[in-house]
């Protein structure tokens, strides 16, 4: 796995003409819209982008991304670890009219002045691939834990080593 940073701005037509592959990391903390959606994140987004001209003469980007995120549990709002990955196919277009001509297998990406902001593109893709709803297993969730411990006998069966809960508390305190 590469540890270089993904360049933020590229000239995608040239990359496609040369069938180049870009691979690199994007610090998750740099992605402001992601932070807005799911809270501050540590670590990196891993990205591979293969630029190409396909048999139909379209300039395309075949991309893959992966990240380990801390997403808020919908029930208790504590962060929980979630691995997110996605694969996508982008068709470069220079206008909205051309975007309409792309087959449904391709997502349009608008190239202006032969430039492309890769950070915007990969952040869009990451946000699109977030799971809609995440929540802990009932045994690990603070909400159900509170409900359980208020019931009779729940603490006895539970024992002291509710470790996923402790780990999450720890993570929460650090962020």
Which candidate, 130, 112, 113, 109, places its Cα nearest to that of 121? 109
Per CB under 5 A, 141 contacts Zn ion? yes
Site string for Zn ion, 108-137 (x = CB under 5 A): ----------------------------x-
DSSP codes, 94-152 = SSHHHHHTS-TTSEEEE-BTTBEEHHHHHHHHHHHTS-S-----GGG-HHHHHHHHHST
Per CB under 5 A, 75 contacts Zn ion? yes
Closer residue to Zn ion in complex, CB, 41/78: 78
Shortest distance, position 85 Cβ to Zn ion, whole Å: 23
Q: Are strands 116-117 and 79-93 parallel, antiparallel or unpaired?
A: unpaired
Shortest distance, position 147 Cβ to Zn ion, whole Å: 12
Closer residue to Zn ion in complex, CB, 69/76: 76
Shortest distance, position 78 Cβ to Zn ion, whole Å: 5
Shortest distance, position 137 Cβ to Zn ion, whole Å: 9
Closer residue to Zn ion in complex, CB, 72/108: 72
Closer residue to Zn ion in complex, CB, 108/164: 164
Reading the block at residue 13, the tokens are 């037509």
| Residue numbers 24-53 binding Zn ion by CB under 5 A | none
Q: Which residues contact 134 (CB under 8 A, 6 or more apart)?
A: 71, 72, 73, 74, 80, 82
In the set 15, 61, 76, 111, which binds Zn ion (CB under 5 A)?
76
Q: Which residues contact 119 (CB under 8 A, 6 or more apart)?
A: 6, 8, 26, 30, 31
Total residues found in the chain within this entry = 175
On whether the CB atoms of residues 125 and 88 are closer than 8 A, the answer is yes
Per CB under 5 A, 168 contacts Zn ion? no
Size of interface with Zn ion, in residues (CB under 5 A): 5
**Residues in touch with Zn ion (CB under 5 A):** 73, 75-76, 136, 141
């Amino acid at each position: 796995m590469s540890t270089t940073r993904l360049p933020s701005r590229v000239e995608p037509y040239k990359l496609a003409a040369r069938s180049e592959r870009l691979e690199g990391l994007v610090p998750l903390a740099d992605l402001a819209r992601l932070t807005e959606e799911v809270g501050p994140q540590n670590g990196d987004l891993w990205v591979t982008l293969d630029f190409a001209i396909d048999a139909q003469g379209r300039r395309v980007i075949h991309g893959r991304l992966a990240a380990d995120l801390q997403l808020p549990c919908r029930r208790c709002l504590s962060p929980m670890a979630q691995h997110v990955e996605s694969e996508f196919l982008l068709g470069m277009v220079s206008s909205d009219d051309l975007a309409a001509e792309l087959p449904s297998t391709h997502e349009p990406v608008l190239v202006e002045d032969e430039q492309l902001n890769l950070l915007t593109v990969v952040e869009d893709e990451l946000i699109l691939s977030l799971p809609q709803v995440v929540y802990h297993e009932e045994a690990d969730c603070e909400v159900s834990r509170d409900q359980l411990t208020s019931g009779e006998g729940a603490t006895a069966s539970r024992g002291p080593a509710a470790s996923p809960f402790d780990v999450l508390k720890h993570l929460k305190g650090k962020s």
